[in-house]
Amino acid sequence: MRSKEEYLREAIRVSQESRAGGNHPFGAVLVGPEGELLLSAGNTVSTEHDCTGHAETNLVRLASRKYDRDFLSRCTLYSSAEPCAMCSGAIYWSGIGAMTYALSEESLYQLTGDDPENPTLRLPSREVFARGQRKVEVSGPHIENEARQAHKGFWHPNEED
């Protein structure tokens, strides 16, 4: 089984692919109970013209079609950035049992500021999950400096490296 950092690096890799494909730099992967990498999804907001096309919601849609809730309860979703309130809700409703993220919502806000492409609610995923009737294990932030790299120059194209 790989380490959580390795799975997060895979989610970051997917976020870089999303950016290269014309979307926002976010990625997510689903890891099964035995540590197997099951699915990955990137952000498709721009290319699909769908405001709900966040990496995590895209991954939840794929996972829900392929796996039952019992299996998903033993899986972990790894995300390049802390899921927003919408994505946290999708993770909760899918039955996925755990979520680990790299870049925190607050750190992301510090990168994006008031950019209209990321009108964040500034609501940590732990707060969303705390209101639910079932537990979702949360771990993060981790390797934030690595996760930030996919965002360099994206939100503020003239920023220095």
Active-site residue list? 56
Report d(CA 18, CA 16) in Å as an integer: 5
Helix, strand, coil: what percent of the chain each, to 5?
45, 15, 40
Amino acid at 116: P
Pair of tokens at residue 56:
């995590």
Helix (H, G, I), strand (E, B) or coil at 38: strand
Half-sphere exposure at residue 131, Cβ-oriented, CA atoms within 13 angstroms: 9
**Do 17 and 40 contact (CB within 8 A), yes or no?**
no
